Amino acid sequence: MRESVKQICDRYGFVVDPNKKVYDMSVSEKQTVEIIKVLYRGARILILDEPTAVLVPQEVDELFGNLHRLVADGATIIFISHKLDEVLKVADEITVIRRGTTVATVRPVDVTAKQLAELMVGSELPTPQTQESTVTDVVELSLRGVCLDTADGRRVLDDITFDIHRGEVVGIAGVEGNGQIELVETIMGMRSGSIGTIELAGRDISGLSTRKRRES
């Protein structure tokens, strides 16, 4: 079995240690294992549903390289994704489905991401308009040096510092599992043991319970 797995990895460019426990693997390694499993069983058609959702850009490029080698070897791949740039990059043919019905089948060279989006929503996309900013100078939420460790001593938040002004929208970007949930729960008071300060409307709420924070 190990020799068969090694042959599959060498043939399609997968990098995975057959002796490694799955629970010790990263998300991308686990995904690779799932693909290898179906190839090991002789599958020639692969259906991948949002396979890049939890991958960083480098891992996405590696996955696409593997997929191209599979296709070159005669495999058929159905790649399902809402990331239009990736669809245009990897697909030979694109089928757009809206409300369970096929509305178009196109080639990547014939369409743009905007045109695909319009096919998906069924109408022309509105042109963005510049409006007066709603952001004020008043700091509504302020974090300074917020850190959080898990029960086993692993640091999941490290020196988080930012201000959110009244009327402002702040996006937190990152691959799933990199501290977003812990950050939200720390701000809400659902996690104890954090260090640093959290201020809401100028009031230090760091030591307050979730209920007290909501009442602030």
Answer whether 80's CB lies under 8 Å from 28's CB: no
Answer whether 185's CB lies under 8 Å from 179's CB: no
DSSP secondary structure letters along 45-73: EEEEESTTTT--HHHHHHHHHHHHHHHHT
The pLDDT of residue 135: 87
Taking only the tens place, the pLDDT of each residue in 142-182 is 999 999 998 888 889 999 999 999 999 999 887 777 889 99
The pLDDT of residue 86: 93
pTM for this prediction = 0.60
Low-confidence ranges of the chain (pLDDT < 70): 128-130
The pLDDT of residue 162: 95
The pLDDT of residue 130: 65
Tell me the Cα Rg of the chain: 23
